[in-house]
Homo-oligomer: A and B are copies of this chain.
Amino acid sequence: MEFMTGVSNRETIEIGALSEALGDGGSVVDGKSVKVNGIVHAVRDMGDVSFVILRKREGLLQCVLEEGKTDLKLKELKAETAVEAEGVLKTEKRAPNGFEIRLEKIRILSAPEAPLPLSISGRKLNTSLEAKLDNRSVSLRNIRERAKFKIQEGIVRGFRDFLYRQGFTEIHTPKIGARGAEGGANLFRMDYFHKPAVLAQSPQFYKQMMVGVFERVFETAPVFRAEKHNTRRHLNEYTSLDFEMGFIDGFFDIMEMETGFLQETISLLEREYAAELRILDVTLPKTERIPVIRFDEAKRKVSEKYGRPIRNPHDLEPEEEALIGRYAKEEFDADFIFITHYPSAKRPFYAMDDPADASVTLSFDLLFGGMEITTGGQRIHDYQMLRKKIEKRGMTTEGMEPYLDTFKYGMPPHGGLGIGLERLTMKLLGEENVRETTLFPRDLSRLEP
B289 touches A4 (CB 8 A): yes
CB <8 Å contact, B167 and A153: no
Task: Contact check, B447 vs A192: say whether CB atoms are below 8 A apart.
Answer: yes
A121 within 8 A of B: no
Q: How far, in Å, is A335 (CB) from chain B's closest CB? A: 13
Interface contact B146-A214, CB-CB below 8 Å: yes
Question: How many chain copies?
Answer: 2
Q: Does A157 contact B (CB under 8 A)?
A: yes
* Proximity bits, A35-78, B CB within 8 Å = 1, else 0: 00101000000000000000011100000000000000000000
| Contact present for B421 and A113 (CB under 8 Å) | no
In the docked arrangement, what's the CA distance between A144 and B221, Å? 26
Which residue on chain B has the smallest CB distance to residue A287?
A: B6
Flag if B150 contacts A169 (CB, 8 Å).
Answer: yes
Tell which of A86-94, A174-182, A303-311, A345-353 binds the partner.
A174-182
A138 adjacent to B172 (CB under 8 Å): no
Interface residues in A141-199 (C-beta closer than 8 Å to B): 141, 146, 149-150, 152-153, 156-157, 160, 164, 166-167, 169-178, 188-193, 195, 197, 199
Once the chains bind, are A410 and B176 in contact (CB under 8 Å)? no
Chain A residues engaging chain B, CB cutoff 8 angstroms: 1-8, 12, 14, 37, 39, 56-58, 79-82, 84, 109-114, 116-117, 135-138, 140-141, 146, 149-150, 152-153, 156-157, 160, 164, 166-167, 169-178, 188-193, 195, 197, 199, 206, 209-210, 212-216, 221-222, 224, 226, 228, 236-237, 239, 246-247, 252, 255-260, 263, 288-293, 331-332, 338, 381-384, 399, 402-403, 405-413, 421, 439-442, 444, 447-449
Q: Enumerate the 6 nearest inter-chain pairs by beta-carbon distance, A residue then B residue, closest first.
A: A402-B449, A80-B410, A112-B410, A82-B412, A190-B190, A137-B209
- Given A82-B410, A137-B213, A157-B164, 10 extra CB contacts under 8 A: A3-B290, A57-B167, A136-B402, A137-B405, A153-B171, A172-B222, A178-B447, A189-B191, A210-B439, A399-B448
